[in-house]
Structure 1
Amino acid sequence: MAQTQAEIVPVLTRRQSRAPKEVLQDWLPKLVLAPSFAIVLLFVYGFILFTVVLSFTGSKLLPDFSTWVGFSNYVRLFNHPNWLTSLKNLAIFASLYVIVCSVLGLGLAILLDQKIRAEGLIRPIYLYPMALSFIVTGVAWKWFLDPGIGLEHIVKDLGWESFSFRWIKDGQMAIYTIVIAAVWQSSGFVMAMFLAGLRGVDNEVIKAAQIDGASTVTIYRRIIIPLMRPVFLSAFVVLAHLAIKSYDLVVAMTDGGPGTSTWTPALFMQKFTFGRNEMGMGASSAIIMMMMIFSIIVPYLYSELRGERRT
C-alpha cells in the first residue's frame, strides 16, 4: 500500500505543477466563444421570448405589459381578412417557388453534368443572380415588368401593338410575378446543390447499370435521383425557409399591391407592427411564422440526427 502511494504522489505533483497551463488551455476556447454565445443568447433567443410575451399583450405603438389579453391577438389574427390573404399568397408563392426552383435546378444540374464544354462559363451565369440581394432583384423585375417602361413597352416599340403583359398591375396575377423573380434568383443556387449531389454519385453504380443495358433516362430516374434524396430535402428546407420569410422582394416589386393582392405574412407583420401601431398583433403573426419555420426545420434536423445515429 505504501508503495502505491509513493507512485501516486509524483503524478499528483506533476498535475498540480501543470494545472495553470492546462486550465488556461481548457478555458481559452470557452472565453473566446463566450461573447458571441452571449450575443446570440440575448439578441436571438432573448428577443424570441420577448416577442412571445408581447403577443399576449394589448401593445399598440409601444410594448405594454400591463394589458394581458391572452390569445385574443391570435383569434383576431385568424379572423382578419388581410392575414388570410397573406396565408393564401404564401401558399401559392411557396408551392410554386419550391416546385419550379427544384425542377429547373435539377434540369440545369443534369445539363451541366453532361460535361459540356462551356460548363465553366455557364455555371457562373446561373449562379450570378444569387449574388444579388432580393431588393436589387425586386427593383430590376419591377422595371422589367412595368407596362410603361418594361417588356410590354419594348415589344410594342418593335411593332407588336397588341402585345400586353400587365401581370404586375393585375391583382389576380401579381403574386405570380413575385414567383418569377424569386425563381430567377434562386434556381441557380438549387442547381449548384443538385450538381454537387450528382457529382457525388458513385460512378461504379452507373457503369454497372449501363452494362446491364439501362438507358440514360432510366439511370437518372431509377438510380441517380433516388440517391439524391438528402439533396432534395436540403433544397426543400432552404427554399421553404426563404418563402416563409419573403419580405424584401415583395416590398421592392409591389409593396403588397395592387391592394393586398401580394401581401405575405412577413409584410403583414411589418404593416401592422409599424404601419398601424398594432404591436401585439404583429408579434402574434411573427410567432406564427416562427412556428411555420420550426415545423420545417425540426423534422429535418430530427431526420439528419437519426441518420447519423444509424451510421
Structure 2
Amino acid sequence: MLSHNRAHSVDAAGPLNPSTGPVAKRRSFRNQFEAILPKLVLSPTLIVTLVFVYGFIAWTTILSFTRSRAFANFKWAGFTQYGRVWEHPRWHVAVTNLGIYASLYVVLCLVIGLALAILLDQRIRSEGGLRAIFLYPMALSFIVTGTAWKWILNPGLGLTKLFHDWGWSTFQFDWIINDDMAIYTVVIAAVWQASGFVMAMFLAGLRGIDQEMIRAASIDGARMPSIYRRIIIPQLRPVFISALVILVHLAVKSYELVIALTGAGPGYATELPSTFMYSFTFTRNELGMGAASAVMMLCTVAAIMVPYLYSEMRPRRTAGGH
C-alpha cells in the first residue's frame, strides 16, 4: 500500500523537468561560453589597438598643444605649434610637393590600372602570369622600391649608362639630382608600385559586371568604346571611389619611398609632410612641432576616410532598419 502511494505520488508529479536538470545546466553554461567566446578572442586585439593606435593618437594630439622640444612636457602652448608649422617655409614646400605628388600619383595609377584591367579582361593568353607580374611590385616594401629606383635613376648608372651603351651619349637622365624634377622621380616609383594593385581592383569590378547588359548593347549595334564609356565604366564608380581613397591615403603618409629614393632631397626638393614631421621630431628635437604636423596629416586622412566610411556604412544601416 505504501509503495503504491509512493508510485502514485511520482506519477502525479510527472517526469523530471528538463529545464532544471544537470543536462540543462550544462547546456546553459555552454551557451553562455559560446556567447562570450568571441569577446574573449577579440579583447586582446581590441586592447592593443586602443593602446597602441588610439592611445598614441591621443598622446600625439596632447603633445601638439604643449611646448615639448627634446622631451615631452605639459607646458600648455595652445595652437602655437600649429602656427609655427604653418609659418615654416619647409612646410610650404612639403605641402606643394604633396599636391604635385598626390595628384599625379592618383591620376596615373587610376588611368594605368584601368587600362591594364581592361587589357586583362579580354581573356588574353597568360593572363595569370601577367596579373602576377603587374601585382608583384605591390608585394615589395617601399624601401626596396625606393632603393631599386634610386639605382635605376642614378645619373652615373641605370638609365643614363644604358642609353650611353646604346650610343645615346648625349642623353643625361638626371632628374633625381635636379631640384625641379626630383619630385617626379618619386611619382614614377610610386606609380610603378601601386598601378598593379589598382589594376586588381578594377579587374575584380569588371568581372562582376552583368554580361547580359553588354551582350544586349552589342546586339543593338553599340561599339565597344561606347559600351565601355556608357555601360561598363559608370558601373565601376564604387571601385573608382575605393581606389581614390586608398591612393590618397598612401600619398599623404608616404615616407619610406621618399627617404630611400631621394632622402627628401636634393636639398628639400622632395620634402613631404611625413618627412617634415620626422625631421622636426627626431633630428631637430622639436617634438611639439612634429606632433602638430602629424595631427594635421591625420586630419587630412580623416577628412578623406570618414565620409567614405560613412557612405559605405549608411546603406547597411538602412537595410538593417528595414
Counterpart for residue 213 of structure 1 = 221
Separation in 2 of the partners of 1:198 and 1:32? 37
- Give the drift of 1:92: 0.5
For the residue of structure 2 that corresponds to 1:171, the secondary structure is coil
Normalising to structure 1: TM-score of the pair?
A: 0.94
What is the identity, as a one-letter code, of the residue corresponding to 2:262? T
- Partner amino acid for 1:99? V
Structure 2: give runs of 5+ residues left out of the alignment: 1-12
1:87 equivalent to 2:102? Answer no
64, 69, 72: which one aligns with 1:63: 72
For residues 85-144 of structure 1, give each alpha carbon's deviation from its aligned partner in whole angstroms, at most 9, with x where no partner exists: 111111110000000000000000001111111212211111111111110010010011
Give the distance between the partners of 1:139 and 1:24, measured in 2 at CA. 52
Structure 1 regions of 5+ residues with no counterpart? 1-5
Q: Which residue of 2 aligns with 1:19?
A: 28
- What SS does structure 2 have at the residue aligned with 1:50? helix
Amino acid paired to 1:224: I
1:159 is matched with 167
2:20 partner SS: helix
Q: What corresponds to 1:3 in structure 2?
A: none
Separation (CA, whole Å) in 2 of partners of 1:121 and 1:176: 30
1:263 & 1:133 partners in 2: Cα distance? 20
TM-score (structure 2 length as normaliser): 0.91
Equivalent positions of 1:196-211 (< 5 A) are 196-211=204-219
1:170 maps to 2:178: yes
Q: Which residue of 2 aligns with 1:28?
A: 37
Deviation at 1:61?
0.9
TM-superposed deviation, 1:307: 3.0
- The whole-number CA distance in structure 1 between the counterparts of 2:17 and 2:105 is 68
Residue 278 of structure 1, aligned match among 282, 286, 292: 286
1: CA distance, partners of 2:121 / 2:263: 39
Q: What is the rounded CA distance, in whole Å, between the counterparts of 2:317 and 2:288 in structure 1?
A: 42
Q: Which residue of 2 aligns with 1:107?
A: 115
Q: Which has the larger radius of gyration?
A: 2
Shift of 1:152: 1.0
- Name the SS of the counterpart of 1:137 in structure 2: helix
**Percentage of pairs with the same residue:** 58
Deviation at 1:18, TM superposition (A): 3.8
Shift of residue 17, structure 1, vs aligned partner: 5.7
| Cα distance in 1 between the residues matched to 2:318 and 2:126 | 41
Report what 2:140 is aligned to.
132
DSSP 3-state at the match of 1:180: helix
1:308 CA drift (Å): 2.8
Which aligned runs of 4 or more in structure 1 are off by greater than 6 angstroms? none
1:46 aligned residue (36, 41, 55): 55
Q: Give the C-alpha shift of residue 12 in structure 1.
A: 5.8
